[in-house]
Protein backbone atom coordinates (compact mmCIF):
# COMPACT_ATOMS: atom_id res chain seq x y z
CA UNK A 1 0.00 0.00 0.00
CA UNK A 2 1.26 3.45 -0.85
CA UNK A 3 0.50 6.55 1.15
CA UNK A 4 -0.70 8.89 -1.57
CA UNK A 5 0.02 12.62 -1.50
CA UNK A 6 -2.15 14.52 -3.93
CA UNK A 7 -2.03 18.05 -5.24
CA UNK A 8 -5.53 18.45 -3.88
CA UNK A 9 -4.30 17.69 -0.35
CA UNK A 10 -1.36 20.06 -0.71
CA UNK A 11 -3.62 22.87 -1.86
CA UNK A 12 -6.10 22.19 0.93
CA UNK A 13 -3.30 22.29 3.52
CA UNK A 14 -2.04 25.61 2.16
CA UNK A 15 -5.53 27.09 2.35
CA UNK A 16 -5.85 25.93 5.94
CA UNK A 17 -2.27 26.86 6.92
CA UNK A 18 -0.71 29.42 4.54
CA UNK A 19 2.67 29.09 6.31
CA UNK A 20 3.18 25.88 4.32
CA UNK A 21 2.96 27.53 0.90
CA UNK A 22 6.71 28.06 0.52
CA UNK A 23 7.51 24.54 1.71
CA UNK A 24 4.98 23.00 -0.67
CA UNK A 25 6.52 25.01 -3.50
CA UNK A 26 10.10 24.00 -2.61
CA UNK A 27 9.61 20.35 -1.65
CA UNK A 28 8.22 17.70 -3.98
CA UNK A 29 6.51 14.98 -1.94
CA UNK A 30 4.74 12.17 -3.75
CA UNK A 31 4.06 9.59 -1.04
CA UNK A 32 5.75 6.49 0.35
CA UNK A 33 5.26 2.75 0.58
CA UNK A 34 3.70 1.52 3.82
CA UNK A 35 4.84 -1.74 5.45
CA UNK A 36 1.18 -2.89 5.72
CA UNK A 37 1.85 -5.77 8.16
CA UNK A 38 1.96 -4.26 11.63
CA UNK A 39 3.82 -7.07 13.41
CA UNK A 40 7.09 -7.01 11.38
CA UNK A 41 6.87 -3.22 11.29
CA UNK A 42 6.80 -3.17 15.09
CA UNK A 43 9.71 -5.61 15.28
CA UNK A 44 11.73 -3.36 13.00
CA UNK A 45 10.83 -0.31 15.11
CA UNK A 46 12.04 -2.01 18.29
CA UNK A 47 15.28 -3.10 16.62
CA UNK A 48 15.92 0.44 15.37
CA UNK A 49 15.43 2.20 18.71
CA UNK A 50 18.40 4.38 19.74
CA UNK A 51 20.48 3.32 16.74
CA UNK A 52 21.75 5.12 13.66
CA UNK A 53 19.93 4.34 10.42
CA UNK A 54 22.94 2.36 9.14
CA UNK A 55 23.29 0.25 12.31
CA UNK A 56 19.54 -0.35 12.47
CA UNK A 57 19.41 -1.50 8.83
CA UNK A 58 22.29 -3.92 9.44
CA UNK A 59 20.71 -5.50 12.52
CA UNK A 60 17.25 -5.67 10.92
CA UNK A 61 18.73 -7.45 7.90
CA UNK A 62 20.52 -9.98 10.13
CA UNK A 63 17.35 -10.68 12.12
CA UNK A 64 15.30 -11.07 8.95
CA UNK A 65 17.89 -13.51 7.57
CA UNK A 66 17.82 -15.46 10.85
CA UNK A 67 14.02 -15.70 10.97
CA UNK A 68 13.35 -16.08 7.25
CA UNK A 69 9.94 -14.47 7.65
CA UNK A 70 9.27 -12.18 10.59
CA UNK A 71 6.20 -13.64 12.29
CA UNK A 72 5.25 -14.23 15.92
CA UNK A 73 6.01 -17.94 15.42
CA UNK A 74 9.50 -17.50 13.95
CA UNK A 75 10.40 -14.84 16.50
CA UNK A 76 9.22 -16.94 19.45
CA UNK A 77 11.18 -19.93 18.13
CA UNK A 78 14.44 -17.98 17.76
CA UNK A 79 17.05 -18.63 20.43
CA UNK A 80 17.90 -15.51 22.46
CA UNK A 81 21.61 -16.11 21.85
CA UNK A 82 21.01 -16.21 18.10
CA UNK A 83 19.26 -12.83 18.29
CA UNK A 84 22.11 -11.47 20.39
CA UNK A 85 24.59 -12.59 17.73
CA UNK A 86 22.61 -10.47 15.25
CA UNK A 87 23.46 -7.45 17.37
CA UNK A 88 20.20 -7.25 19.34
CA UNK A 89 20.66 -6.08 22.93
CA UNK A 90 19.44 -8.26 25.80
CA UNK A 91 16.75 -5.72 26.64
CA UNK A 92 15.45 -5.67 23.06
CA UNK A 93 15.43 -9.47 22.97
CA UNK A 94 13.09 -9.33 25.97
CA UNK A 95 10.88 -6.76 24.21
CA UNK A 96 10.74 -8.83 21.02
CA UNK A 97 9.84 -12.03 22.82
CA UNK A 98 7.12 -10.15 24.71
CA UNK A 99 5.66 -8.87 21.44
CA UNK A 100 5.69 -12.37 19.94
CA UNK A 101 4.04 -13.77 23.06
CA UNK A 102 1.32 -11.09 22.97
CA UNK A 103 0.53 -12.02 19.38
CA UNK A 104 0.55 -15.79 19.95
CA UNK A 105 -1.62 -15.66 23.08
CA UNK A 106 -4.08 -13.25 21.51
CA UNK A 107 -3.34 -10.55 24.07
CA UNK A 108 -3.04 -8.27 21.04
CA UNK A 109 -4.56 -9.12 17.67
CA UNK A 110 -2.23 -7.35 15.27
CA UNK A 111 -4.46 -8.06 12.26
CA UNK A 112 -7.49 -6.53 13.97
CA UNK A 113 -5.61 -3.40 15.07
CA UNK A 114 -5.83 -1.87 11.61
CA UNK A 115 -9.62 -1.64 12.02
CA UNK A 116 -9.31 0.51 15.15
CA UNK A 117 -8.99 4.28 15.48
CA UNK A 118 -5.58 5.91 15.86
CA UNK A 119 -6.09 6.46 19.59
CA UNK A 120 -7.26 2.87 20.11
CA UNK A 121 -4.23 1.48 18.29
CA UNK A 122 -1.87 3.58 20.40
CA UNK A 123 -3.60 2.45 23.58
CA UNK A 124 -3.15 -1.19 22.60
CA UNK A 125 0.47 -0.93 21.46
CA UNK A 126 1.75 0.93 24.51
CA UNK A 127 0.70 -2.04 26.64
CA UNK A 128 3.75 -3.80 25.21
CA UNK A 129 7.11 -3.38 26.93
CA UNK A 130 9.45 -1.28 24.81
CA UNK A 131 6.65 0.45 22.90
CA UNK A 132 5.95 4.08 23.71
CA UNK A 133 3.52 6.56 22.24
CA UNK A 134 6.06 7.89 19.72
CA UNK A 135 6.79 4.39 18.39
CA UNK A 136 3.07 3.72 18.06
CA UNK A 137 2.54 7.02 16.22
CA UNK A 138 5.34 6.23 13.76
CA UNK A 139 3.71 2.86 13.07
CA UNK A 140 0.43 4.63 12.38
CA UNK A 141 2.23 6.63 9.69
CA UNK A 142 4.68 4.20 8.13
CA UNK A 143 2.93 0.85 8.60
CA UNK A 144 -0.75 1.78 8.38
CA UNK A 145 -0.61 4.99 6.34
CA UNK A 146 -2.92 6.93 8.66
CA UNK A 147 -3.43 10.45 7.26
CA UNK A 148 -3.66 12.63 10.37
CA UNK A 149 -0.73 11.85 12.69
CA UNK A 150 1.30 14.67 14.23
CA UNK A 151 3.47 13.64 17.16
CA UNK A 152 4.20 15.99 20.06
CA UNK A 153 6.90 13.54 21.16
CA UNK A 154 8.86 14.01 17.94
CA UNK A 155 11.53 16.69 18.39
CA UNK A 156 11.85 17.31 14.66
CA UNK A 157 8.14 18.02 14.35
CA UNK A 158 8.13 20.38 17.32
CA UNK A 159 11.19 22.25 16.02
CA UNK A 160 9.64 22.46 12.56
CA UNK A 161 6.47 24.04 13.93
CA UNK A 162 8.54 26.53 15.91
CA UNK A 163 10.66 27.49 12.89
CA UNK A 164 7.67 27.73 10.59
CA UNK A 165 5.71 29.94 12.97
CA UNK A 166 8.54 31.99 14.47
CA UNK A 167 8.11 30.57 17.98
CA UNK A 168 10.73 30.52 20.75
CA UNK A 169 8.93 27.77 22.68
CA UNK A 170 6.11 25.32 22.11
CA UNK A 171 4.03 24.01 24.99
CA UNK A 172 1.80 20.96 24.74
CA UNK A 173 -1.18 23.31 24.77
CA UNK A 174 0.33 25.28 21.87
CA UNK A 175 0.93 22.04 20.02
CA UNK A 176 -2.71 21.03 20.45
CA UNK A 177 -3.68 24.27 18.71
CA UNK A 178 -1.45 23.48 15.72
CA UNK A 179 -2.62 19.87 15.62
CA UNK A 180 -6.20 21.12 15.22
CA UNK A 181 -5.08 23.73 12.69
CA UNK A 182 -3.36 21.16 10.50
CA UNK A 183 -5.98 18.39 10.79
CA UNK A 184 -6.90 16.32 8.79
CA UNK A 185 -3.48 16.60 7.11
CA UNK A 186 -1.27 15.80 10.11
CA UNK A 187 0.79 13.14 8.33
CA UNK A 188 1.44 15.38 5.33
CA UNK A 189 2.46 18.14 7.74
CA UNK A 190 4.80 15.73 9.54
CA UNK A 191 6.55 14.89 6.28
CA UNK A 192 7.11 18.57 5.48
CA UNK A 193 8.29 19.41 9.00
CA UNK A 194 10.83 16.57 8.94
CA UNK A 195 12.20 17.95 5.69
CA UNK A 196 12.81 21.33 7.34
CA UNK A 197 15.06 19.59 9.85
CA UNK A 198 16.69 17.09 7.51
CA UNK A 199 17.12 19.38 4.53
CA UNK A 200 18.26 22.50 6.34
CA UNK A 201 15.58 24.49 4.53
CA UNK A 202 14.92 28.08 5.40
CA UNK A 203 11.29 28.93 5.97
CA UNK A 204 11.47 32.69 6.31
- Rounded to the nearest 10°, the torsion over CA 60, 111, 106, 70 is -20
**Catalytic-residue membership of 154:** yes
Which contiguous run of DSSP H or E holds residue 33? Answer: strand 32-33
Crossing angle of the two packed helices 186-199 and 155-165, in degrees rounded to 10: 90
CA atoms within 13 A on the CB side of 8: 2
Out of 37, 57, 109, 154, the active site residue is: 154
Residue 204, classed as helix, strand or coil, is: coil
CB 131 within 8 A of CB 108: no
Catalytic residues: 154
Amino acid sequence: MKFQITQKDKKALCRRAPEFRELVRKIDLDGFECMDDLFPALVRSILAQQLSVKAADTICRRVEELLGTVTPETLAAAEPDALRRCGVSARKVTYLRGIADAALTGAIDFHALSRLSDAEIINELVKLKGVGVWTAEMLLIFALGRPDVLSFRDLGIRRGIMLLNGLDRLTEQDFAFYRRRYSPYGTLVSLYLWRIKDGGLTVR
